[in-house]
Amino acid sequence: MPQVFGPRANGLLLFILVGLVFAGGVAAVVGIVVLRSDWNRATFFAVAQPVPFSHAHHVGELGLDCRYCHTGVETSASAGLPATEVCMTCHSQLFTDQKMLEPVRESFASGIPIVWNRVNDVPDYVYFNHAVHVNHGVPCEACHGRVDEMPLTWRQKPLTMEWCLSCHRDPAPNLRPLNAVFAMNWSPKGDPRQQGEALINLMHIDPKNLTDCYVCHR
Model confidence at 39, pLDDT cuts 50, 70, 90, reads: low
Closest CA to 170 of 122, 210, 130: 210
Give the Cα separation of 199 and 178 in Å (integer): 10
pLDDT reading at 11 higher than 90: no
Three-class secondary structure of residue 155 per DSSP: strand
pLDDT value at residue 40? 65
Average pLDDT in the chain: 91
Q: What's the gap between Cα 13 and its chain centre? A: 49
pLDDT value at residue 41? 67
pLDDT value at residue 82? 94
Model confidence at 3, pLDDT cuts 50, 70, 90, reads: low
Least confident residue range of 28-42, 46-60, 65-79, 141-155 = 28-42
What is 106-141 written as a DSSP string?
HHHHH-PPP-PPPSS---TT----HHHHHTTT--HH
Q: What are phi and psi of 114, to 5 degrees?
A: -70, 135
pLDDT value at residue 68? 96
Q: Where are the domains of the chain?
A: 9-35, 55-81+116-216
- For residues 40-66, average pLDDT: 91
Convert 108-124 to b/e letters by CB count within 10 Å (16 or more is b): beeeeebeeeebbeeee
Give the Cα separation of 69 and 73 in Å (integer): 10
- For residues 191-213, average pLDDT: 94
pLDDT value at residue 34? 65
pLDDT value at residue 106? 96
Model confidence at 4, pLDDT cuts 50, 70, 90, reads: low
Predicted confidence (pLDDT) per residue in 71-130, tens digit: 999 999 999 999 999 999 999 999 989 999 999 999 999 999 999 999 999 999 999 999
In percent, the amount of the chain with pLDDT more than 90 equals: 74
Model confidence at 149, pLDDT cuts 50, 70, 90, reads: very high
